[in-house]
Each structure stands twice: as structure tokens, then as C-alpha cells.
Amino acid sequence: MPVSLADVATANASRYLQQLCKHWSHKFQVEFDAHTGKIPFSEEARLILTANGDILSLRLDATTERLQTLEQVVEDHLKRFAFREELHIDWRPAA
């Protein structure tokens, strides 16, 4: 399964991780704490988040057909929560 990664620089990494997880917890069986989170979008797609200081790391596992769409969905939600700052999210394939 293809994997996309992104490291987002923000002083609010833990806060955004928790907001994303809480947002999707009404639809999916989300697991999270202040430093890690897992959002299973389906059996074929999941987002793993890690807050480490001023970096929010994103790992998106999804089928080739859904990967680009889910990247955009995650990016749109994150930017909506972070409307007070301009985040730069550059997805890259995992090595």
C-alpha cells in the first residue's frame, strides 16, 4: 500500500493532532493522546499522527486510488483548524 509522509512545522502540533482526531472520532474508531493519533478511514486507509515539539508528522497509508484525495482532505481539515497561521504541508512518498 502506498504511503505519504508530511512534517508540518507548528507550535501547536499536539493541539492540531487532538483536534483532527476528535473531529473524525464521530465517524471512525480513533485512538489518540497528546502525542500520537491513529485515524482508520477504512480497512485500506489510515492516518497516523505524531506531535514532537514543534513538528506534526503525518503518515497516510491508502490505496493508490484514494491517496491523493485523502492527502487533500487531511490538508484541508488541518488548514481549517490552523486558520490563524499559514501551514506548509508537503506530502512526499515514503522511501
Q: How far is CA 54 from CA 9, 25, 51, 61, in A?
A: 6, 24, 7, 23
Q: Which sequence spans correspond to the domains of the chain? A: 3-93
**Residue 17 scores a pLDDT above 90:** yes
* Residues recorded for the chain: 95
Write the pLDDT tens digit of every residue in 41-51. 999 999 999 99
Kindly report the number of other CB atoms within 10 A of residue 20's CB atom.
22
Return the C-alpha cell found at 82: 490552523
Per-residue pLDDT, averaged over 1-18, amounts to 96
Beta-strand (E) ranges in the chain? Answer: 3-9, 31-32, 36-42, 45-52, 55-61, 92-93
User: Would you state the pLDDT for residue 44?
Assistant: 94
Give the CATH fold of the 3-93 domain: TATA-Binding Protein (3.30.310)
Whether pTM > 0.85 for this model: the answer is yes
User: Would you state the pLDDT for residue 41?
Assistant: 97
Write the pLDDT tens digit of every residue in 38-91. 999 999 999 999 999 999 999 999 999 999 999 999 999 999 999 889 999 999
User: Would you state the pLDDT for residue 95?
Assistant: 80
